[in-house]
Amino acid sequence: MLTIYGVYRSRATRPLWLLTELNHPFRLSPVIQAYRISEPLQPEAPLNTLSPDFLAVNPMGSIPSMDDDGFVLHESLAISLYIARKYGGDLGPKDIDEEALMVQWSLFTATSVETPALDISSTIARGEQESEEGRTVIDVAARRLKRPFDVLEQHLSTNSHMVGGRFTVADINVAECVRYAQGHAPLLDERPALKTWLETCQSRPAFKTMWEARNKEPA
């Protein structure tokens, strides 16, 4: 059986959302980020990203990782693209051109969107968005997101989805990066096509199921 190592409160949401969309059987092996544990190397500590047992799976100590009947793969975007290619049906690529576009949009958001969007998400999660320092962090991140969000807005103004005119793994990978900036409303309010697309993605039953599972995990 396909196993995902990680937790819902991590980038594992990407393959976990996809697997839920596909109703594909999987096992979640909980691996917690070491920074969330006061003493991650103690024998009684829960399995975490510094645990020797997990480092034997992924020497980089990052989550998620995947084991699909002996085929081990790391990095959330690679895992999602693999699952879509092997099991995804219409959520995966129909031909090599679609596959290339799915990779393109996934890498685009990972390199151009994720880091500044995470700055916004982390600042809000710490409750610092109203402090002077927090506002500065968010303002800088919003400026860095202007060009990539404008690119997404332009694309989604004439396309219902990222690739192929249908919901695919590319929508999941992009939506999960854009989500990190969702707490800063002006970014999406100023881009109605991007906002509508994200809301449509997040209205899907599989996303809601994934998000419910995420909310049940300790913060």
Domains present along the chain, CATH in parentheses? 2-90 (3.40.30.10), 93-207 (1.20.1050.10)
pTM of the model: 0.96
In whole angstroms, what is the distance from residue 110 CA to residue 107 CA? 5
Residue 172's pLDDT is: 98
Check residue 39 and give left, alpha or beta (phi > 0: left; psi -120 to 50: alpha): beta
Interatomic CA distance for residues 96 and 167, integer angstroms: 17
Lookup: tokens for 72: 């081990």
Pairing of strands 65-68, 71-74: antiparallel
C-beta separation of 162 from 103 below 8 A: no
What whole-number percentage of the chain has pLDDT above 70?
100
Summarize pLDDT for 23-77 with one digit per residue, the tens: 999 999 999 999 999 999 999 999 999 999 999 999 999 999 999 999 999 999 9
pLDDT of residue 219: 85
Query: What local confidence, expressed as pLDDT, does residue 198 receive?
Result: 98
Q: Torsions phi, psi of 65, nearest 5?
A: -125, 165
pLDDT in tens, 94-147: 999 999 999 999 999 999 999 999 999 999 999 999 999 999 999 999 999 999
- Comparing C-alpha atoms, which of 149, 145, 174 is closest to residue 162? 174
**Quick one: average pLDDT of 9-23?**
98
